[in-house]
Structure 1
Amino acid sequence: MLIDMTHTITPEIPIYPGTPVPSLSPACTLTRDGFRETLLSFSSHTGTHMDAPAHLLQDGRTLDDMPMSQFSGRATVLDVSEAGPVITEAFLQSNYDAIHCADFILFYTGWEDRWGTERFLEDSFPVPDEAAARYLVSRGLKGVGTDAIGIDRIGDRHLPIHRVLLKDSVLILENLCLKKVRGRKDFLFFALPMKFQNTDGAPIRAFAELRESFEGERRRR
């Protein structure tokens, strides 16, 4: 079974303060041209998206320069909705069994339920502190994700957690849909970024493949 973990881009979606509002307008129409095309205009960090090291680092790598293997792997979703505003290294260590085999650690904060409302931009969602970020780097992960708008506080313009992760080429995924995989451990995860030149970040199509569902279906047959 495949589970979509991606928000749909619309002109009304929540955007990070200062980011251009997405625009989707008709470029061609059935009536006028005999076919439909849509003119898209939005930031590379719109909606469910991925940050590359080049987002913040002068010599950071871009997504278009990375192998496809960087965008998929085994994932674990940690429920941090009751963990408080700060995700600590101690909390992560207490979840070692769920973390040690993962390529991607995804934080369910509960902010997904606020999507489409002003409350989504309230700056109180759980985020890792720097010690927790360094611990995540030490695990050799491909990426760290969240269902909130950022892995740092909106008000922290230095973006310290971004910098710790991106310095070691740990990709950052934001605005994920995690409710359907809340608490899931060790499933196949795919986060495929739009490919364009010098990709500092890109909207992604993120999805989970839950293979036990296939096994159950085969047994029922």
Structure 2
Amino acid sequence: MALCDEYLLVDLSVEVVPPGTEERPFVTTRSLLHDATTKYLISTHTHVGTHLEGPLHFFEVGKDLADFPLSAFWGRAWFLDIEKVPEDRLLTEAFLAYRLEGKVAPGDILIARNLDEETVSRFNTTKDRSLLPCFTPEAALWIRDRGLKMLGIDHLVRLGKDVAATRKLHEILLSADILLLEGLANLKAVQENPFFLIAFPYKARGIDSSLTRAVALVRR
């Protein structure tokens, strides 16, 4: 049986529509090549849409994504399913250990998925991001110490409760070459846990992050 008959690709990427927003611009301008065919000039930045962040995002002399092997951008992925957001909103080391200890292995990918419908509904109504669950720096240490290679989130999970905590998470993970995959979408469409995730970046030098087309590879 051909591979395409055994597996289904599930798109986990947000759609970027010009002109984007003030904070996340994606402005396209049509022009022509020398042979009168169309090209587009694009004005954007590296954190628009679904994107991968590498060490250069946080460290001035950190690796860019072209320094990583292709194996860094795909592999076995586990959902951290949050059926009930903790009262304090914190995804702690103990929270991760309770759900994932003995399952994840070095080289795996972790994708946080908020399944708390009450919290999601309140957020969709109020847009109050303080309602959403967030990782603690200690949770980042747990991820690092188990040798995971990527952490992914959508807009329903935060990397930290405030700027300081978010920066600490970036420092812990990116210093260990653990990539961050942000702006995911459509996570509920994946029923398998674990599954295979693919998220290749541009092969470009000197940029901290890259747009990516993230997909899940699941059995039919």
What TM-score, normalized by structure 2, do the two folds share?
Answer: 0.79
Q: Does 1:208 align with 2:216?
A: yes
Q: Name the SS for the 1:135 alignment partner.
A: helix
Q: Is the 8 A contact 1:98 1:185 kept in 2?
A: no
Corresponding position of 2:52: 50
Corresponding position of 2:108: 103
Q: Is the 8 A contact 2:149 2:177 kept in 1?
A: yes
Corresponding position of 1:7: 14
Amino acid in the other structure paired with 2:30: P
RMSD: 2.9
Structural mapping, 1:4-153, within 5 Å? 4-11=11-18, 13=20, 19-28=23-32, 35-80=37-82, 82-84=84-86, 85-95=89-99, 96-100=101-105, 103-109=108-114, 122-148=129-155, 150-153=158-161
Q: Does 1:192 align with 2:176?
A: no
Q: Is the 8 A contact 1:145 1:151 kept in 2?
A: no
Bigger mean CA offset, 197-206 vs 76-85: 76-85
Q: Is the 8 A contact 2:53 2:208 kept in 1?
A: yes
Displacement of 1:90 in angstroms is 0.9
Q: Is the 8 A contact 2:133 2:158 kept in 1?
A: no
Find the aligned partners of 2:32 and 2:125 in 1 and give their Cα distance: 33
* Equivalent pairs, count: 202
Structure 1 unaligned residues grouped into runs of 5+: 214-221
CA deviation string 1:20-57 (max 9, x = no partner): 5221232249xxx8643222111111111011011111
Find the aligned partners of 2:165 and 2:215 in 1 and give their Cα distance: 30
Find the aligned partners of 1:192 and 1:160 in 2 and give their Cα distance: 25
Displacement of 1:10 in angstroms is 1.7
Corresponding position of 1:217: none
Amino acid in the other structure paired with 1:5: L
CA deviation string 1:131-183 (max 9, x = no partner): 1110000111110010127523464486111111111111001111122126x
| Pairing partner for 1:179 from 173, 188, 205 | 188
Amino acid in the other structure paired with 1:105: L
Find the aligned partners of 1:14 and 1:156 in 2 and give their Cα distance: 25
Q: Identity of counterpart residues, as a percentage?
A: 28
Q: Is the 8 A contact 1:74 1:188 kept in 2?
A: yes
Q: Is the 8 A contact 2:77 2:109 kept in 1?
A: yes
CA deviation string 1:76-128 (max 9, x = no partner): 112225233211111111112443476110001369x79xx896673432121
Structure 2 unaligned residues grouped into runs of 5+: 1-7
Q: Name the SS for the 1:99 alignment partner.
A: coil
Amino acid in the other structure paired with 1:41: S
Find the aligned partners of 1:127 and 1:157 in 2 and give their Cα distance: 9
Find the aligned partners of 1:141 and 1:101 in 2 and give their Cα distance: 5
Corresponding position of 2:4: none
